Amino acid sequence: MAGPADLGATGGVVWSDPEEWAWRRKAEGCVICRDGASLDILSETSSCWVTAAPEGALPAYVCVVARAHVVEPYELPPSEQAVFWQDAMTAARAVAEVARPVKMNYEIHGNTLPHLHLHLFPRQVDDPYVGGPIDPRRASFRRSDSELAALQKAIAAAFAAAGR
């Protein structure tokens, strides 16, 4: 298969084309796998990268991206599932220590980028999504280098404490 004509296309555009979707589900069609890593990495373990771009849906939003190319968590072997979830929960705890959210939301979609990734959304009583789902098209936050560094430091310390 030659691959996608438009690497920027996402969502239903990708789903509606069975050949395109099948291509993107493969490691050779995955932008993360082709690049060899995720973007905007704050921290990493053997199972994942924890990422946060300067622009985010919430001030302390991060994404946990699996190193293994799978689309669904159940596609990981059980031993790798356990490590991925432990690392994701370690990252979530660290983000919660920084952000002190009312509630941490966890979202796995993969319908726009078919490579396992878990969004961590620390919710606040005054965030712009109160009463509804997170929709980064409605609002976004520019995080400073120092805000990203605080997240990075907390996550790295949590992984170190966990022996990861």
User: Is 1 contained in some domain?
Assistant: no
| Half-sphere CA count of 55, side-chain side, radius 13 A | 4
Percent residues over pLDDT 70 in the chain: 92
User: Is 49 contained in some domain?
Assistant: yes
Query: Can you give the pLDDT at residue 4?
Result: 47
| Half-sphere CA count of 28, side-chain side, radius 13 A | 5
User: Is 61 contained in some domain?
Assistant: yes
User: Is 130 contained in some domain?
Assistant: no
User: Is 86 contained in some domain?
Assistant: yes
User: Is 116 contained in some domain?
Assistant: yes
CATH number at 71 reads 3.30.428.10
Q: Which domain holds residue 65?
A: 12-125+138-161
User: Is 7 contained in some domain?
Assistant: no
pLDDT by residue (tens digit) across 126-137? 999 999 999 988
Number of structural domains the chain divides into: 1
Burial of 33 (0-12, 13-18, 19+ CB in 10 A): middle
pLDDT by residue (tens digit) across 101-127? 999 999 999 888 999 999 999 999 999
pLDDT by residue (tens digit) across 2-15? 444 455 555 556 77
- pTM attached to this predicted model: 0.91
Confidence band for 1, pLDDT divided at 50, 70 and 90: very low
User: Is 4 contained in some domain?
Assistant: no
CB 43 within 8 A of CB 136: no
Distance CA(50)–CA(42), nearest Å, equals 6
Q: Considering the chain, what is the average pLDDT of its residues?
A: 92
For residue 85, give the nearest of 69, 105, 71, 106 by alpha carbon. 106
Distance CA(122)–CA(3), nearest Å, equals 36
